[in-house]
Structure 1
Amino acid sequence: MRKTKTLVIVTLCIITSLFLGGCIEDSTINTKNTINADSVEEYDIATANNAFAFDMYSVVKIENENLFFSPYSIFTAMAICYDGAEGSTKKQISNVFYYPLSKPVLEESSKEMTDTINSDNDAYDLKTANALWILEEYPLNEQYAFNAENYYGGMITPLDFAGQPEESRLVINSWVENKTNDKIKDLLSEGSIDGNTRLIITNAVYFNGTWLEEFEEAGTRKRVFHLSNGKEKKVDTMYVIGTYNYGEDKNAQILELPYKGDDISMYIILPSDNNIEKFENDLTLSYYNELKDNLHSDEVKILLPKFTFETKAKLNEPLQDMGIVDAFDSGMADFSGISASGGLFISEVVHQAYIGVNEKGTEAAAATGIVMEDGLPYYKYEFTADHPFLFFIEDKRTGTILFMGKVESPESEEMS
C-alpha cells in the first residue's frame, strides 16, 4: 500500500469581531468583477472576507447552539493555500472565498491588510504574524516561498519532522503561545507531526482591547436571559447608560461598542424576536451594511450579558458544500505551486475559536488548521537504474558477500 505524505497548514487567529450572517443572496458583492479584478484598486479584500463570512455562517450555524469563528483566520489560511493552487482547484477556491484569479492582486491586497493590522496603536494590542515550518530539504517551490515571505511575512524555518517530531511540535506550539499571549496552548497535539509531515504554516493574530467606555462592575448583576427554545436562565449582565451609535428597524436593533483607539468596534445585532433562527436565515451582508448605515449617536441604556465560550468544528463538509471539491480529492487537487513533488490535497480543515467579553473589554482566540497530504510518494533522491550496474548479495550477519554480479544488459527468463 502506498503511503501518503502529510503537509499541515495551521492558521491561528486572535480577533475580536463577532460576525453574524447568512448566505450571500444579494448583489452586495459582484462575484464576477471580484474574481476578475486586475488591480488592488479594483479588489476590495475586506468585502471579499465579509462576504465569505456570511456564506460560511449560513453553512455552519447550528440551531440553539453558540457559535463563534474567525472568517479572517480561515480566509487568510486558505489564501496561503491558494497561492499554490492551479487549474480547477484554484477556480473553486476563488469562487468560495471571492479571491481574484490574479494571485498578485490577492498577494498585494493581503500585504496591505497585514500592514494595517500591524500598525502600532498604544490603545489596544493587535498583531498578526505568519510562519512556515518546513521539513529539512523539502522541495518547496522558490516562488511560493518568496510569496509567503514577501506578501504574508512568513518566516521559513526548517525542522526535523522525521527524526524529532515531538521536539518540532513543541517548537511550533511555543511560537503559537508566544504570538497569542499564551491564549492558545498545545495547538498541535501529540502525534500530529511524524515522518510524513512536510510543511506546517501558522498564521497568528492577537487582539486585546478595552471598551472606549468601560462598564462599571458594580452595575453587573444576575438578570434573566430568554433562550430561543422558550426557557430562561439567569446570567451575569452588564449595565450602562451612555452615548453610543445605535440604529433599528422593524426587524432588529444594532449597537456599536467601540474599543479604545476607535479603530475597532464590536457591532451587536439584536433581533426583535427572541427566536433568532428565522432572522439569521434571512440576514445578508447587504442588510447588515444597511443596519450599520442607520447608526446614529444617541443616549442608550445597555444591558449586555458577559459571555465566554469556545466552539470547534471541522470545515471539510461545509467547504465542499460551498463548492471547493477538487482540493479535497487526491486525484483532482492541484497544488503544484506549493511543491514540484506534486500530489498535495487537503485532507482536513479544523477551526476552533474562543471569545471572552466582560466589563473591561474583549479577548478572543481562533485557530484554523488545514491539513494536506501528498497523494504521490515523496522522495528526496531518485535512483533510476537505466544503465549498467553492479549488485551484491551479502550475509549481513557476517558481512560475507555471497553473490556478486554486474548487469550490462538486463534479460529475464521464467524460473521453473
Structure 2
Amino acid sequence: MPTRRTLLALSGALVAGGLAGCLDRGPTPGAGSPTAPDVRANVPRASGDVPAGDFDALVAGNAAFACDLLAELRGEEPNANLFVSPYSVSVALAMTWAGARGETERQMAEALRFELDQNALHPAFNALDRALESGDAGDAGDDGGAGADATDDGGEGGTPFRLETANALWGLADYPYREPFLETLAAYYGAGMHTVDFVGDPEGARTRINDWVSARTGGKIPELFSEGSFDRWTRLVLTNAVYFRATWAEAFDPDVTADAPFTALGGSSSDVPTMRQSERFPYAEVDGVQVVELPYVGGEVGMVVVLPPAGAFEAFEGSLDGSRLRALFEALAEAEGTVALPRFTYRSSFSLPGTLRALGMPVAFDRRRADFGGMVDLEAAGENVYVDDVVHEAFVAVDEAGTEAAAATGVEMGATSAPMDPFEMTVDRPFYFAIRHRETDAVLFLGRVVDAAAAQ
C-alpha cells in the first residue's frame, strides 16, 4: 500500500475536560462522516498524584525545551519579536508522543526534553495541568485591554489570573486508532476524539477545528489552520489551546505612562509608550543582567523580565538555557525599586517542522520511517502515518492593567535577600520575558522583544 499523509497538527492552550475512547466503525474505511457522533469512552480523568521527582523532571525539561525552542526560532528570525508557549507545544507533542514507537519515540523524547518514560510522563503532565488550574471560571474573550477587568487599585480588587487549557483530537469516524492511545489521552489530558470528515469535507473540518481553538483562546487565535491545510490524506489533528489573562498585583498608573526611547537590536531608536512604577518587587542582578518579576493578582503567576546589559543581548541569549533561566528565577528576592517597561502587543505564528527537525526529531516527519504504531493499527489502516505539520500561534498584550496571552499549537520563592539600595530598571533595549507559574516554575510563555516600536 502507498504511504499516505497524516496531519498531526498541534494547537495550543490548556484546560481539561473531554472525551475519548473506543472507535465507532463506519462502513467506508478511511472516510469520515460530518454527522457521525463524537467518539467517547468511559475513561475518567486521572488524579494528579505523582512522585515529586517526576514532577520536578517534567518542569526542568519544560524550561530546557522553552529555551531550545526560542533559540532555534530566533536563528530563523534574528531581528524579530518572538513569543511562544513552550508548555502548549510540549503538551500537544506529548499527546502525539503517546502514539510514537521505536526511533520516532526516542528522537521525540530527546528533542522535547522528556526525561520520563511513557508510563511516567503523561501522569506528570496531568499533575502539572491540575496544579495550574485557574480559580476564575469566567468566559474568555471579552473585549478591552489586557487587564480590562482590573479595578483602579489593581491590587486586592483585581481579577485573579485565568489560565485555561484544552486538548482535543479530531479524526475520522471509522479509522483504526488504537484504544490504549485514546484512553491515555482521555485519562491524562482530558482530550476527546471529535469525528470530522477530512476526506469529503476538509474545509468543513478546518472550520470546526478553528472555531474550537478560537473559542478556547478568547478569540485571539481565530484561524490557526489556513485554507488548504487539510486534504483527503489527513488522518488526525491534535489540538492544545491556552488562554491566560491576569491583572498586575500592583497596576501601573496610566497617567504616568509616557513616550520614552527604546533602542532596537539593530541600533535604531524610537519613542514608545513606557509604563513606570516604584514598588517592592522580586528582583535580582546576576552578572550584570537585571531580572524583575511583576506578580499578578493572587501571587500564583508572575511575569519575569530579563534585561541584559547594553550591547550584551545577543551574547546573553546565546548562553541562555533551561538551567540558567531557572537560576535567574531562584535569584529573585524582594527589593524596593522602580521599573520602566514598554507597553507591547504582538503575535507570532510558526510552522514548526523545520524547527523540530533541527532540534533532533526528523523521523517523526518522515512519511516512510515514522512509527506511530501506538496511535494507529497500521496493518488495519493499510498505510503509514506521520507528522505532516506542527503549527503554533501565540498572542500577547501587556498594558498598565495586566497581561492577556493566548496560544495554539496544531508548557514560590521563600528566600529573602539582605537589605539593598533601591534598584532602577529601565527597559529601554532588547529584553526577554517569561510568564511562569511561581510555585512550580513551569514556563507557560516565553518571548523576546528586540524592537518595541514594532510591538505597538
TM range (shorter): 0.7 to 0.9
| CA distance 1:320–1:3, shift in 2 (3 Å) | closer
CA positional deviation for 1:3: 7.1
Distance between the aligned counterparts of 2:325 and 2:5, measured in 1? 43
1:47 corresponds in structure 2 to 60
User: Larger deviation: 215-224 or 199-208?
Assistant: 199-208
1:105 corresponds in structure 2 to 120
Q: How does 1:105-184 map to 2 (within 5 A)?
A: 105-121=120-136, 123-184=160-221
In the alignment, residue 98 of structure 1 is paired with which amino acid?
A: R
| CA contact 1:74–1:368 (8 Å) conserved in 2 | yes
| CA contact 2:283–2:334 (8 Å) conserved in 1 | yes
1:309 corresponds in structure 2 to 346
| CA distance 1:137–1:14, shift in 2 (3 Å) | closer
| CA contact 1:40–1:105 (8 Å) conserved in 2 | no
1:339 corresponds in structure 2 to 376
Corresponding position: 1:83 with 2:98: yes
| CA distance 1:4–1:289, shift in 2 (3 Å) | closer
Distance between the aligned counterparts of 1:210 and 1:300, measured in 2? 20
Distance between the aligned counterparts of 1:253 and 1:162, measured in 2? 54
CA positional deviation for 1:159: 1.9
Q: How does 1:374-385 map to 2 (within 5 A)?
A: none
Distance between the aligned counterparts of 2:356 and 2:197, measured in 1? 32
CA positional deviation for 1:309: 1.3
Q: Which one has a larger percent strand, Structure 1 or Structure 2?
A: 1
Distance between the aligned counterparts of 2:403 and 2:275, measured in 1? 13
| CA contact 1:130–1:152 (8 Å) conserved in 2 | yes
Corresponding position: 1:358 with 2:369: no
Distance between the aligned counterparts of 1:348 and 1:164, measured in 2? 19
1:347-401 CA-partner distances (Å, limit 9, x unpaired): 22222222111001111122222xxxxxxxxxxxxxxxxxxxxxxxxxxxxxxxx
In the alignment, residue 244 of structure 2 is paired with which amino acid?
A: F
Aligned residues: CA RMSD: 2.0
Q: Select which of 326, 332, 343 maps to 1:295.
A: 332
CA positional deviation for 1:239: 0.9
Distance between the aligned counterparts of 1:191 and 1:217, measured in 2? 44
Question: Over alpha carbons, which structure has the higher Rg?
Answer: 1
Answer 1 or 2: higher relative contact order, Cα 8 Å, separation at least 6: 2
CA positional deviation for 1:189: 2.3
1:270-294 CA-partner distances (Å, limit 9, x unpaired): 1112451111112233333333332
| CA contact 2:95–2:185 (8 Å) conserved in 1 | yes
Q: How does 1:211-230 map to 2 (within 5 A)?
A: 211-230=248-267
| CA distance 1:42–1:290, shift in 2 (3 Å) | closer
1:348 corresponds in structure 2 to 389
Task: Give the TM-score taking structure 1 as reference length.
Answer: 0.78
CA positional deviation for 1:175: 1.5
Distance between the aligned counterparts of 2:406 and 2:58, measured in 1? 22
Q: How does 1:130-279 map to 2 (within 5 A)?
A: 130-279=167-316
| CA distance 1:172–1:299, shift in 2 (3 Å) | same
| CA distance 1:191–1:64, shift in 2 (3 Å) | closer
Distance between the aligned counterparts of 1:129 and 1:324, measured in 2? 25
| CA contact 2:9–2:237 (8 Å) conserved in 1 | yes
Distance between the aligned counterparts of 1:11 and 1:351, measured in 2? 6
> What's the secondary structure of 1:51's corresponding residue?
helix
Percent identity, please. 36
| CA distance 1:103–1:14, shift in 2 (3 Å) | closer
Distance between the aligned counterparts of 2:223 and 2:359, measured in 1? 30
| CA distance 1:150–1:123, shift in 2 (3 Å) | same
CA positional deviation for 1:151: 0.9
Task: Give the TM-score taking structure 2 as reference length.
Answer: 0.72
In the alignment, residue 53 of structure 2 is paired with which amino acid?
A: E
**Structure 2 unmatched runs, 5+:** 16-49, 137-158, 411-456
Q: How does 1:3-14 map to 2 (within 5 A)?
A: 4-13=4-13
